[in-house]
Structure formats: structure tokens, C-alpha cells
Amino acid sequence: MIKTNFDVTFRKKDSFTDILGQKNTKQQVKSALLMDRHVIVVGPPGVGKTTLARNVAKLLPEITVNDCEFHCDPKNPVCPRCLSKKASKTKKIRGEERFIRIQGSPDLNVEDLLGDIDPIKALKFGPLSIEAFAPGKIFRANNGILFFDEVNRCPEKLQNALLQVLQEGTATIGSYSVDLPANFIFIGTMNPEDTSTERLSDVFVDRFDVVNMGYPETLNIEKEIVASKGKKIDVTFPDNLLNLAVLFVRILRENKDLEKKPSVRASIGLYERAQANAFLDNRKTVNADDIANAIISVLMHRIELKPSVKYLQSNEEFLQKELRQFVQEHEEFEKGGGR
């Protein structure tokens, strides 16, 4: 078990201050982690899954570890270097330094993740010696958080290896079984809209609690995110127009013709690019045209049409049509723009 103080920090009114909204998700994550359960956060890209996991790390207390790559507990070292050396220097690390991110991909192999036997050292020390073992990425999460992004993009073989580590604390590398007492909190993610991925096996998912994380719950929350994450230049963005820019993206997410929906990054993109358009036109205030002129470049590649409609229109045509309809339905968009 790793050293946390979740029993104290999680009872604060809002522990995850880096994420706006997402009350239910935060509650579920806290409840699972408090009981040392492994979590998979399921949600579309750009909703803040990484930020949430980093926020969990920030809440971890400062600890003293050996001055090695694997943050070994001085009393209970796990890496070959610390195990073979009698004494090691120690250092203090803050919560946010106790965070390791691994990107799930079909190319990730078991050796990257778990480690490998170093053939030269194996000759010297013997193949089963701890000195011959070159630890993989997973070890760097020792005494911290292992954030495994898009875990469902990994080959099944790797899922099984990961499972073995989480379950038994051992790993099989080649024909050797290596004790892997790495100690970490596992937070994985999955994108439900990603269809190009491996199915997670039942045995695998049985080891986790799943927490859903969706798009920002309300327009106001999304506006707040946009204003806090987006780049701001010396141009005024009228509030009613920002409402409409974000609303346009939010309406697209509800569109039944879309297979891939625009993320919060799309809203941020419109916010930034509309300001830039006004600036380049030597104006101090954003107008509706500035937003309209950013739509194609910001959104075209961020959406995907369902196969049933894909062959009838391009993404660009689809967006033009949606924009025309949006303008008709939102008079103030037209007026506000002084077209």
C-alpha cells in the first residue's frame, strides 16, 4: 500500500480543484481510491482525465525516497540498484512528482512496461539475479501514481501482463518470473468512442472500478474552462458571443449524424481563433464573423460523420450547413456580429 493521506484530503469540500465541475466523477474517484481500488476513467478525449489523475498525485504527501529512478522506499527498496547496494542517498519528493504517465498503444510491448533481462549482466550475475533485471516503465510509478492512458489500446498480451502485476505483484519476462513488488495507485483511462481498440477482457475489467467522465455538464462550466485554459489576447470577447461559440460546439455533440464529437479543445480553439481573427482585422472586440471564420479550421478534423451520411457530404459541408442553421436559430449571433 502506498502512503497517502486521502482520508484527510478527500473529505475536503473540493479536493480536485484543477477540474471544474464533474462533481459525480470526483466523488466516484475519491470513493474508489480511498479503498485502494484500481480505477479506469472512461470518457471522451479532452474532458480532463489526465488533469484529474495529476490532481490525485498533487494530493499525495511529500515522502522520502532513495535517490534512484524508481523512488524506492529506503526501508523496502525494489530496484536492482538499491537492492544490490547497501546504502543509498535519499531525497524528498512532492506529490506531483509521484506521477508517471504511460501512453497505451498497440506498439507498447511487455518489456517496455515491465522490464527485461540485460543479457550482459545476466552472464555476469546469472539470469535470475536481480542485478540482471532492467526495470521497465511501470517501476517508475513505484510509490506513486501509474496513469495508464488509453489502456484499451494495448495488445491483449500486455493487458495480461499488467493484470499479473496488479494481481500478484509478479511479472513473467521471457521464461523468467520476476518478483515485481512495485507499489502504486493505478488510474487508467479509456475512450468509449475509440472503436479501433482491443476489447478489454472480462478478467481484466474485473480488477477495476470504472468511473465515467463526460463533457462539461453545463454551458457555464464549459465557458469557465475555456476562459481559464484558452489563450487570451488584448481583445474583448463579448459574453453573449462566447455563449454562442460554446453552444455551437455543445449542439454539435448532440448531433445524431456525428460519430466523433468535438471535444472541449474545440471550444477552446474557437475562443482563441476568434480573438486572433478580430486582432488581425485591427478590431478590439470579437464579432460573430470572427467565430464563424474559425469554425472550419478548428472543427473540421475534430468531428467524424457516421458512415450513413459520410458519403453524402464532407465535414466542411456539414459544418457550413450546421452553422447556417445555427445562425437562423440564434438571431443574436447574426446581430451581435454586425454582418
> What distance lies between CA 182 and its chain's CA centroid?
22
DSSP E strands: which ranges in 157-306?
A: 170-173, 176-179, 184-190, 209-212, 258-260, 304-305
Residue among 70 and 148 whose Cβ is closer to Zn ion: 70
One-letter amino acid at 201 equals S
What is the distance between the alpha carbons of residues 195 and 151, in angstroms, rounded to a whole number?
13
One-letter amino acid at 280 equals L
Smallest distance, Zn ion to C-beta of residue 72, A: 3
Smallest distance, Zn ion to C-beta of residue 191, A: 34
Query: Where on the chain is the footprint of Zn ion (CB under 5 A)?
Result: 66, 68, 70, 72, 77, 79, 82
Smallest distance, Zn ion to C-beta of residue 230, A: 41
Residue among 70 and 271 whose Cβ is closer to Zn ion: 70
Smallest distance, Zn ion to C-beta of residue 3, A: 16
DSSP E strands: which ranges in 166-218?
A: 170-173, 176-179, 184-190, 209-212
DSSP collapsed to 3 states, 92-144: EECHHHCEEEEECCCCCCHHHHHEEECHHHHHHHCCCCHHHEEECHHHHHCCE
Residue among 68 and 226 whose Cβ is closer to Zn ion: 68
Smallest distance, Zn ion to C-beta of residue 330, A: 59
Helix or strand run (H / E) with residue 334: helix 331-337
Smallest distance, Zn ion to C-beta of residue 79, A: 3
Q: How far is CA 285 from CA 240, 276, 290, in A?
A: 12, 10, 10
> How crowded is residue 92: how many other Cβ atoms within 10 Å of its Cβ?
9
Residue among 28 and 142 whose Cβ is closer to Zn ion: 142
Helix or strand run (H / E) with residue 320: helix 315-329
Q: How far is CA 313 from CA 225, 317, 320, in A?
A: 32, 6, 11
Residue among 52 and 145 whose Cβ is closer to Zn ion: 145
Smallest distance, Zn ion to C-beta of residue 97, A: 15
Residue among 59 and 79 whose Cβ is closer to Zn ion: 79
Residue among 29 and 79 whose Cβ is closer to Zn ion: 79
Smallest distance, Zn ion to C-beta of residue 133, A: 12
| Grid coordinates of 87 | 546504502
Residue among 92 and 284 whose Cβ is closer to Zn ion: 92
